[in-house]
Amino acid sequence: MTTALRRLRNYIDGEFRDAADGRTTEVVNPATGEAYATAPLSAAADVDAAMAAAEAAFPAWRDLIPAERQKVLLKIADRFEERAEELIAAESENCGKPIALVRSEEIPPMVDQIRFFAGAARMLEGRASGEYMEGFTSIIRREPVGVCAQVAPWNYPMMMAVWKFAPALAAGNTVVIKPSDTTPASTVLIADIIGSVLDELGHSRGVFNVICGDRETGRLMVEHKVPAMASITGSVRAGMQVAESAAKDLKRVHLELGGKAPVVVFEDTDIPKAVEDISVAGYFNAGQDCTAATRVLVQESIHDEFVAALAKAASETKTGAVDDEDVLYGPLNNANQLRQVKGFIERLPAHAKIEAGGEQVGDKGYFFAPTVVSGLKQDDEIIQHEVFGPVITVQSFSDEKQAVEWANGVEYALASSVWTKDHARAMRMSKTLDFGCVWINTHIPLVAEMPHGGFKKSGYGKDLSAYGFDDYTRIKHVMTSLDG
């Protein structure tokens, strides 16, 4: 007997719709490897309809006073809490994530982030008005940019949707967002939540639209004439393609791309505490996090002790079923990602040593064992390129100068961490590490008030914080003659 697949649909101008041409793709639960739903494979007609809805809704949403937009966002946050179990179930099925961890680690920060941007809506800042030319007063207006085309990734589809729509809506923009083709379920549910709130409070539901589809759908969104801004969280390749497409009509671009976070551990660190925290930060979400602590550099005097402790921690880390409260992470997101992680392990150079893991787990779904690889050199493939899996590499460095050189010696520059009891050293490292975030004696915590974003091939623009809010605004100078 074949189980009927659930039908997911686009959300355009307050209505759930199939793709105009009826095409669909199957959506697979990565914990089982089996399809559980179909989603629209949206094409040009669907993108046109979503953009038209967002464009029509923009003037009224833009002209709302900030307190009214705040009211909408606060209601959305409340509704996220009220419907939390639905969101948890959708995201767990989307990604194979452990239910308990989605409940504890994703719902609370998402709600907090929406409420933060609800407050930011009322904190539009600019330089003080004043007279900079005799007889004239200048003022600054900060305005929304317009319709925003947003593409979210598959590693945190629900939370990344929040990172995109919350600042955009708070600033007065309207949104068309596309989830990854492998993880559309939670974003479609978010559309139902936001649409119901907009309806209840008497606003156009065209303010927020969701279209499902693949890379071609995303390309059509970015190249469409309506959006004033394109925002993507994804791979470096995808970011480059978006930037190139957006350049044709000079759209604003917001890019949060890959990462290869160095974790620099000095000999004076508390080894048991560092190992405990680093293993969690490296394996959480199956290492599918651009900031994951997966590239460890350890001072040579403690290298062997640290590797042994890290391998032991890996052997004690569990991956498994969504309802098992003892697991730290679930499967890799899709079959392609499993092949990518396996490929890195299969291509390891002869001088590398697998200290723990290194293999697929089970015969169902896309689970991969927590892995530690030592003996690596700076120019090895697995050091230079993002694995995006539960694989922690370890290199041995001699001194601070070499640690900085190797830490910075990759094309990514999103996040990093330093582990030491020496305050002066920590301050020097925070200055010289070329990354958008430097954690000291911790790795991976994020708060709504602080920015998240990188340099180099990790992209540009900030998520979260007032800086992330500013990215969704434009600045206008208004000058008035005092002569009347």
**Structural tokens at position 441:** 């004696």
Q: Known catalytic residue: 148?
A: no
What is the C-alpha to C-alpha distance for residues 80 and 72, in angstroms, rounded to an integer?
12
Listed in order, strand segments (DSSP E) in 292-390 are 295-299, 353-356, 360-361, 367-368, 371-374
| Active-site option among 95, 148, 212, 290 | 290
| Active-site option among 93, 256, 355, 386 | 256
Residues 6+ apart with CB under 8 A from 121: 66, 67, 69, 70, 73, 170, 171, 172
What is the C-alpha to C-alpha distance for residues 46 and 210, in angstroms, rounded to an integer?
10
Rg of the chain taking only CA atoms, in angstroms: 23
Can you tell me which residue has the tokens 């464009």?
55
Phi, psi of 130 (to 5 degrees): 180, 180
Tell me 247's DSSP state. H
* Dihedral angle sign, alpha carbons of residues 123, 126, 128, 130: negative
Q: Known catalytic residue: 256?
A: yes
- Chain centroid to CA 104: how far? 18
* Coil/strand/helix, residue 64: coil
Going by C-alpha positions, the residue among 196, 148, 201, 247 that lies closest to residue 11 is 196
H or E element, residue 262: strand 262-265
| Catalytic (active-site) positions | 256, 290
